[in-house]
């Protein structure tokens, strides 16, 4: 009580504030205004506006002051960074809170992965709110490293930093009333449930929303997002590394409906965080496309806080935590200083007194069965094959049917037509299961690339021009206990180990970003044409996303939600 009374006294101006931000152009996301004001801070919280005496006075004349940004949905594992390094990466970009869904590490390590996350966030300056993974495994169409039931979700939902249940990817099970799935939704109790409904429309969408699912980040067209908005969903406008939907969706945002929108990155690689940005990039891009800056900052802060019931964050308001950014240009989002609980954490282009990453505390989770080169071969069984067709800036894929290239009775990569062999090898339980198919859109002219990052079960996924290099990638991934590998003629061209669950690096943000840049550059030397080859590779096994995908069980027809044949006839 004494501490509370001291804060009240500071708010009344009877005792000195700790910090006064003077003459700032305050971006007030509550009133929808930008105006000059003084803002006082005491014991890490905003206490009021106006003239206050303070121990420290910062003259912010000419600077814009906005609440810290909030990412409404991200799988931090996509950055390949430990949570302390992830915090370093996004705090300097103005994000002071994030809503994460750690279902990548949960699919590999189960409850151990979630415990690792919950333990890590207690040591961070960044506020991390967790949506418990709802789909571990994501679907029955692949082999996961673990499973989490509704009972385990119900047990963890009471955790203070848990904001709800994460994206319900198995939308057919939701729509058709699967009991276990609906018990997982019910485990949220009074907290939020995130959606994941790519291309779901009409009465099926009605049933999905009726199941108490309140948000969606999978809209790829304005028409799709508008239907979901009209039916009451909170729309997360996604702008990640390979999933870029902002430009398409921004046209449906109006002054009247803007409070139903948030920004999210979903999946973003570390080099893009370094070069392009985080939520600051979404704000900048939205404003450049004509969005009112006030609306952009609302979408980047208070809207997300309100939707997820995040307490005392998202606005510059008495009692809220003093999380804010000072910018020299609010339209270009040129950040000069970032404050967390009234303390500068980024200033003059540098992070201030930031803790280093802890050593890994979880296993690598690499246990594939032995594999021979002969197991990679695909005997001819028909005259035409289904090919996964990569679409620009999307993780949805098409289905391309073509005549295969056949040599000695086996289907091989058709390099001239950019049709390359792709395989998924189970790595968790040594089952020996291998899914084999073909993909168009990588452009490789030689060699192979592979990874243990393959949504959502994160088995080994490899694409290549020939079986020898595909096999060599598999062997090298086993040796380094997970990560990324670029191979040519049996020689490692470049690699990046990811020893934490086969998902996360133990390196710094800057080193991991540099390593990934080098990997991408080396893929180009093999003829690769995709701007984000490893990100898109990781999504080709994502069986809840239409239309054609591949897992360790084989080719997946997502529309029918079943394993399908490589051969059409």
Residue 347 counted as domain residue: no
Q: So what's the pLDDT on residue 561?
A: 87
Listed residues 289, 308, 327: the one ending a domain? 308
Across the chain, which distance is largest between two alpha carbons, in Å?
A: 88
In a shared domain, residues 91 and 227: yes
In a shared domain, residues 195 and 291: yes
In a shared domain, residues 272 and 409: no
Residue 33 counted as domain residue: no
Listed residues 308, 335, 356: the one ending a domain? 308
Enclosing domain of residue 421: 373-564
Q: So what's the pLDDT on residue 353?
A: 66
For the chain, the average pLDDT equals 93
Residue 539 counted as domain residue: yes
- Looking up residue 192, the CATH number of its domain turns out to be 3.20.20.140
In a shared domain, residues 422 and 276: no
Question: CA 124 to CA 113: how far, in whole Å?
Answer: 17
Residue 217 counted as domain residue: yes
Residue 155 counted as domain residue: yes
What is the gyration radius of the CA atoms in the chain, in angstroms? 24
Residue 63 counted as domain residue: no
Q: So what's the pLDDT on residue 81?
A: 94
In a shared domain, residues 518 and 424: yes
Question: CA 194 to CA 437: how far, in whole Å?
Answer: 32
Q: So what's the pLDDT on residue 360?
A: 47
- Per the structure, how many domains does the chain have? 2
The DSSP code for 128 is: E
Q: So what's the pLDDT on residue 358?
A: 55
Question: CA 92 to CA 90: how far, in whole Å?
Answer: 5
In a shared domain, residues 288 and 196: yes
Q: Does residue 357 have a pLDDT over 70?
A: no
Pick the range with the lowest mean pLDDT from 136-140, 236-240, 362-366.
362-366
Residue 9's pLDDT band, with cuts at 50, 70 and 90, is confident
pTM, two decimals, is 0.91
User: Average pLDDT, stretch 125-135?
Assistant: 94
Strands (E), 311-403: 324-329, 334-340, 343-347, 350-351, 385-390, 397-402
Q: So what's the pLDDT on residue 348?
A: 86
Residue 61 counted as domain residue: no
Neighbour count for residue 240 (Cβ, 10 Å):
25
For 386, the token pair is 């289904």
From the DSSP assignment, how many helices (H) and strands (E) are in the chain? 17, 30
Q: What is the DSSP string of 18-40?
A: EEEEEEEEEEETTTTEEEEEEEE
In a shared domain, residues 383 and 304: no
In a shared domain, residues 414 and 273: no
Listed residues 263, 287, 308: the one ending a domain? 308
Residue 267 counted as domain residue: yes
Question: CA 147 to CA 168: how far, in whole Å?
Answer: 15
């Amino acid at each position: 009580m004494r501490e509370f009374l001291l804060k009240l006294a500071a708010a009344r101006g009877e005792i000195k504030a700790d910090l006064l931000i003077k003459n700032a152009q305050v971006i007030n996301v509550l009133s929808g205004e930008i105006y000059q004001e003084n803002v006082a801070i005491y014991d890490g919280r905003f206490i009021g506006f106006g003239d206050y005496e303070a121990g420290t006075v910062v003259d912010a004349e000419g600077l814009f002051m906005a609440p810290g940004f909030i990412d409404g949905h991200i799988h931090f594992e996509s950055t390949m960074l430990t949570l302390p390094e992830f915090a370093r990466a996004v705090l300097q970009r103005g994000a002071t809170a994030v809503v994460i869904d750690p279902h990548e590490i949960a699919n590999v390590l189960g409850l151990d992965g979630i415990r690792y996350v919950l333990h890590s966030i207690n040591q961070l300056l960044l506020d991390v709110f967790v949506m418990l993974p709802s789909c571990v495994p994501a679907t029955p169409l692949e082999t996961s490293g673990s499973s989490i039931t509704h009972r385990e979700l119900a047990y963890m939902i009471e955790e203070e930093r848990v904001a709800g249940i994460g994206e319900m990817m198995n939308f057919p099970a939701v729509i058709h009333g699967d009991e276990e799935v609906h018990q997982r939704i019910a485990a949220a109790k009074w907290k939020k449930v995130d959606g994941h409904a790519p291309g779901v429309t009409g009465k099926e969408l009605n049933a999905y929303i009726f199941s108490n699912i309140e948000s969606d980040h999978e809209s790829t067209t304005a028409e799709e997002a508008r239907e979901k908005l009209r039916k009451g969903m909170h729309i997360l406008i996604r702008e990640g590394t390979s999933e870029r939907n902002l430009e398409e969706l921004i046209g449906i945002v109006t002054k009247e409906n803007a409070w139903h929108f948030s920004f999210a990155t979903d999946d973003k690689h570390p080099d893009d965080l370094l070069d392009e940005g985080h939520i600051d990039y979404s704000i900048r891009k939205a404003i450049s496309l004509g969005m009112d800056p006030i609306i952009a900052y609302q979408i980047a802060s208070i809207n997300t806080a309100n939707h997820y019931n995040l307490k005392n964050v998202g606005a510059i308001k008495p009692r809220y935590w003093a999380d804010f950014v000072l910018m020299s240009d609010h339209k270009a989002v040129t950040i000069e200083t970032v404050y967390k609980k009234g303390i500068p954490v980024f200033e003059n282009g540098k992070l201030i007194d930031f803790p280093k990453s802890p050593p890994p505390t979880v296993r690598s989770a690499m246990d594939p069965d032995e594999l021979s080169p002969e197991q990679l071969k695909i005997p001819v069984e028909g005259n035409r094959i289904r090919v996964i067709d990569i679409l620009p800036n999307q993780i949805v894929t098409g289905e391309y049917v073509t005549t295969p290239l056949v040599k000695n009775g086996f289907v091989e990569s058709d390099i001239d037509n950019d049709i390359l062999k792709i395989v998924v090898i189970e790595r968790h339980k040594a089952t020996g299961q291998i899914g084999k198919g073909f993909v168009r859109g990588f452009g490789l002219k030689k060699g192979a690339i592979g990874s243990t990052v393959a949504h959502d079960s994160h088995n080994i996924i490899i694409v290549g021009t020939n079986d020898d290099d595909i096999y060599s990638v598999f062997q090298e991934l086993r040796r380094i206990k997970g990560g990324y590998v670029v191979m040519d003629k049996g020689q490692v061209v470049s690699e990046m180990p990811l020893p934490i669950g086969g998902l996360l690096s133990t390196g710094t943000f800057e080193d991991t970003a540099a390593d990934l840049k080098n990997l991408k550059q080396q893929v180009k030397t093999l003829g690769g044409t995709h701007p984000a080859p490893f990100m898109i590779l990781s999504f080709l096994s994502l069986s809840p996303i239409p239309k054609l995908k591949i897992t360790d069980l084989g080719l997946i027809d997502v529309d029918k939600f079943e394993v399908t044949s490589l051969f059409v006839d």
